[in-house]
A and B are shown apart, each in its own frame.
Chain A
């Protein structure tokens, strides 16, 4: 009762609300990343620790305490890029980050589809990654940073065969072209057709390593493909592409 009485004052409510926002933001950051498995591992360790303490298994409890300390150092080493990105993101964005409006997202998607249509008709190869929840910092750093407003003309210009930035992939975040000439990891999936080139492998590879949506245009026949979660959907029409992109990206994060 004493605890409950203490719980019901304004200071406590503010403290809990701040904790809630922090925990929620951490979960949002981890959602869809490989760090989710790490979080599961930590939760299992914590549960095992409490059970061993309650049951008086002191040796196991001691081992878990020591292991947990090493585990924390391991987390910092293994997830150093993610932690760095998380801290940068925390500093850059407002806690209550305002997402772009639905109309802005639709306008961006129309610009992308328009560029894809034009590139496909001209049989110009292209690789476009659209960022979702998961960060793509290491891939952005492999290319040339742009941070430019997205337009159909800009995308067409980037992939123009003799343009200096046409090699590699473009990364789009919300309504901006963040970087071009980026290097994406190649997929090692043996089920990908041999006839498909490096561009398709790179597109599928990035979709295996992140939650990004990747559009690939073949320079051989202008066919448009889409890679999501390691799955490649081929020969899409601009209308199909718009519908899928709207379904995947049109909802608020």
Chain B
């Protein structure tokens, strides 16, 4: 619990907030694109 107290959750989420959100969006787009390409290849 002491370890958890030391981790500042608010700081972790708010620091570079928009960079984290943009990174997440890009990660999801990349995953969807690659997943779509792989599925397309399998169907052919």
Contact = CB atoms under 8 A, between A and B. Distances in A.
A23 B16 contact: no
A27 B22 contact: yes
Give the interface SS of chain B, mostly helix, strand, loop or mixed.
helix
B23 A20 contact: yes
Interface residues of B, number: 16
A28 B36 CA distance: 28
A24 interface: yes
A31 B19 CA distance: 10
Interface in B15-41: 15-16, 19-20, 22-24, 26-28, 30-32, 35-36
Contact of A16 (B19, B20, B22, B27): B27
Interface of A: 3, 6-7, 12, 15-16, 19-20, 22-24, 27-28, 31, 252
29 contacts: A3-B32, A3-B35, A3-B36, A6-B35, A7-B32, A12-B31, A16-B27, A16-B28, A16-B31, A19-B27, A19-B30, A20-B23, A20-B24, A20-B27, A22-B27, A23-B26, A23-B27, A23-B30, A24-B19, A24-B20, A24-B23, A27-B19, A27-B22, A27-B23, A28-B16, A28-B19, A31-B19, A252-B11, A252-B15
